[in-house]
Amino acid sequence: MLGYLRENTGNWIIKIFLFIIVIVFVFLGVGSMNSKKNNSVATVNDEPITITEFQDAYKSVVAQMKERFGDNLNDDLLKALNVKQQALNNLIEQKLVANEAQRLKIIVSDKELTEALMTIKAFQKDGAFNLEQYKRVLGFNSLNPEIFEVRQRAAMKERKVRDMVLGAITVSDVEAKRWYVFQNTAMAINYIKVDPASFTDVSPTETQIKQQYEENRDLYKSDPKKKAVYLKFSPEDHTDKVAVSEEQVKDFYEKNINRFKVPEKIEASHILIKVDETADEAAVEAARKEADKIYELTIKDKDFAKLAQKFSQGPSKSSGGYLGVFEKENMVKPFGDKAFSMKIGEISKPVRTIFGWHIIKVMAKFKPSVETLAKVRDKISSELMNQELQSMAYYQAGEAFDSIVDGDDFEQVAMITQRKVISTPFFMQNGDGLTLEDSAGFAQAAFSQTNDDISDVKQLGANYYLIKVVETIEPKIQPLEIVKESIVLTLTSKLQKEAAKKATQALSKKATAVDSIDQLAKENKLTLLSTGLFTRNQPVEGIGNSPELIKAAFALDRENPIHPRVLEVGQNFYIIGFKKKQVPADAKVMEALKKTKEQVAYMKQGQNFLSWIEELKTKTNIHINSEFLN
């Protein structure tokens, strides 16, 4: 069975099957699989949430996390994000909503279901629902029409319940305006920064150094080290055994035709008059008037590139404003929307984006197209070749691992697979000491093993490994003379921070006797720094992102010009004072009113739905089998 699965790892069904096996082992443990297979993960009013449902939900959440975090997603991050609990919470919510749908006698008719299915673009061919396409897409996802339609009907019922619960939520103009003003009011501050690093006259005593060492001996242990041997299985070893046929290339092309679609593109140039995103109305209007004057010149003068070299403030100035050929999604939305609505040779009136005002000239337009098989044949062939080579390397590594499970030792397996046993020097947990393609990944795998343990198959980069740890050097407390320099640095930093905080607190007390932070800085011969405008959701220029400091800044005004407390952000201490407050103009508020109402409504719906779910939970008997979460 294992051999069959490995021979067919290129097949998507087998990949899903292997993944399910892994998930079952993760959650149930190898020895307890049979004894617990009928257990439920949780019950909602005695209705079980099955292991299969839990596995599917877990995979779904992991896929979302993978999309969000990419290659940074690992076991530690999955634990930190509590993905198992998230998956279970989603399932409990679904059961609660489904029960409400049943209680309220909500139904989804066959006609409603059919109409919904026919609107799903993935099931369409040439703009219309296609039965063969429908079955093919479901097959690719390990589903059949019966299962999918049951799930789709359930989802539509849940959507109806949600609409009933949330349909009564409204947002008034006044509420939306207040929210927009709150979110978009901008503040600028003056501040005095006290940097601990400037206190260079502090240093720890010998007594403090010894005390730090004695009280924190475990901090000064040496790093553990390991030594390992490994077998490496590379795709390149099988290059002479693989050939890709024309039929395979053609089949791949037809099944993945969306990959070869080329979206509409245009070739354009622009003239940019810069405006800061947080600039006040006066600055925005002044820049617009300047852009209008330049636009009038472009209408009279045929040499757009020459005008761009003279007036543009963007990085493309030296090339006459030339932006090249690009897709709509490559540009900020207002720019893309306008440019792709224009005709060849047309010059736009100034268009506002987060960068400023743009005058756009479209030079050429390229219709959407599909790359021909002839053009992408080599690329597809290379991809299929790599997939097959990868599968063969994995298969060989898996065969080697099976031999180890069957009782062969590491050296015997090396002989059978004609691999060389490679030894490593001693290395640390972060991979220092190794020179592999993924030293950190190798070290992480090895440090999860004890001496003489042999790992399962590990993929590191494009290659597969079997790793055996042969020796471990345990951490031990190092002598004071070896770690003294590190202790001095630690204590010096601590003393500098204490001195900086004390000095800033003393300065803050003086602030009560002055009218402004400017006066405070002058009287104490300190540099006064300033920020640009920032909203409640933006980092503060020169300081960074500090919710506490931002909250304090927005509490300032001309009546309360200096914040009364010292603020700590990162390693530094701050005293902040009022500089400027900018409230959005009424015209801006009205311009954004419709979108703001939608945003506030969405936010209120989310809050109300969560409150409704929590209320349902209090009326429902929910039992969770904690073994599946631990």
Supply the CATH number for residue 313's domain: 3.10.50.40
Domains in the chain, number = 4
pLDDT of residue 436: 93
The answer to whether residue 589 is domain-embedded is no
The helix, strand and coil proportions of the chain, stated in percent and rounded to the nearest 5, come to 55, 15, 30
Give the model's confidence band at 582: pLDDT under 50 very low, under 70 low, under 90 confident, else very high.
Answer: very high
Supply the CATH number for residue 447's domain: 3.10.50
Which of 335, 352, 367 is a domain's end point?
A: 367
Give the model's confidence band at 7: pLDDT under 50 very low, under 70 low, under 90 confident, else very high.
Answer: very low
| DSSP classification of residue 321 | T
Which of 367, 401, 417 is a domain's end point?
A: 367
Same domain, 194 and 243: no
What is the span of the domain harbouring residue 310? 264-367
Same domain, 132 and 236: no
The answer to whether residue 597 is domain-embedded is no
pLDDT of residue 562: 96
What average pLDDT does this structure show over 165-172? 86
The answer to whether residue 302 is domain-embedded is yes
What average pLDDT does this structure show over 311-338? 93
Q: Which amino acid is at 350?
A: P
100 pLDDT exceeds 60? yes
pLDDT of residue 127: 80
Give the whole-angstrom CA distance, residue 374 versus residue 126.
23
pLDDT of residue 554: 97
The answer to whether residue 111 is domain-embedded is yes
**β-bridge mates for residue 267, sequence order:** 325, 364
pLDDT of residue 139: 79
Same domain, 422 and 465: yes
pLDDT of residue 630: 65
Give the whole-angstrom CA distance, residue 401 versus residue 410.
9
Q: What is the rounded end-to-end Cα distance, in angstroms, of the chain?
A: 30
Q: Which residue has the tokens 């390693």?
A: 571
What average pLDDT does this structure show over 377-386? 94
Same domain, 430 and 505: no
Locate 400 and state its tokens: 């080697």
Same domain, 430 and 530: no
Same domain, 17 and 149: yes
pLDDT of residue 39: 64
The answer to whether residue 177 is domain-embedded is no
pLDDT of residue 626: 79
pLDDT of residue 579: 95
Q: Which residue has the tokens 């009038």?
A: 296
What average pLDDT does this structure show over 64-73? 80
25 pLDDT exceeds 60? no
Exposure string over 548-569, b if 16+ CB within 10 A, otherwise e: ebbebbbebeeeebbbeebbbe
238 pLDDT exceeds 70? yes
Out of 92-96, 184-188, 622-626, the most confident range is 184-188
pLDDT of residue 279: 80
Same domain, 239 and 320: no
Locate 562 and state its tokens: 């200096």
- Reference 213, options 490, 587, 548; nearest CA is 490
pLDDT of residue 414: 93
More confident residue, 77 or 27: 77
628 pLDDT exceeds 80? no
Supply the CATH number for residue 143's domain: 1.10.4030.10
What average pLDDT does this structure show over 150-158? 89
Give the model's confidence band at 29: pLDDT under 50 very low, under 70 low, under 90 confident, else very high.
Answer: very low
> What is the overall mean pLDDT for the chain?
89
Locate 170 and state its tokens: 């409204």
12 pLDDT exceeds 80? no
Same domain, 325 and 201: no
Same domain, 282 and 428: no
Same domain, 415 and 319: no
Give the whole-angstrom CA distance, residue 53 versus residue 150.
14
Give the whole-angstrom CA distance, residue 605 versus residue 199.
52
Classify 309 as helix, strand or coil: helix
Contact of 27 with 628, CB cutoff 8 Å? yes
pLDDT, tens only, 196-226? 999 999 999 999 999 999 999 999 999 999 9
Same domain, 6 and 146: yes
Give the whole-angstrom CA distance, residue 363 versus residue 342.
10
278 pLDDT exceeds 80? no
The answer to whether residue 564 is domain-embedded is yes
Which of 443, 473, 503 is a domain's end point?
A: 473
More confident residue, 629 or 543: 543
27 pLDDT exceeds 90? no
Out of 140-144, 411-415, 499-503, the most confident range is 499-503
pLDDT, tens only, 479-536? 999 999 999 999 999 999 999 999 999 999 999 899 899 999 999 999 999 999 999 9
What average pLDDT does this structure show over 245-253? 92
Same domain, 388 and 248: yes
Contact of 61 with 83, CB cutoff 8 Å? yes
The answer to whether residue 338 is domain-embedded is yes
Contact of 303 with 351, CB cutoff 8 Å? no
The answer to whether residue 599 is domain-embedded is no
What average pLDDT does this structure show over 315-339? 93
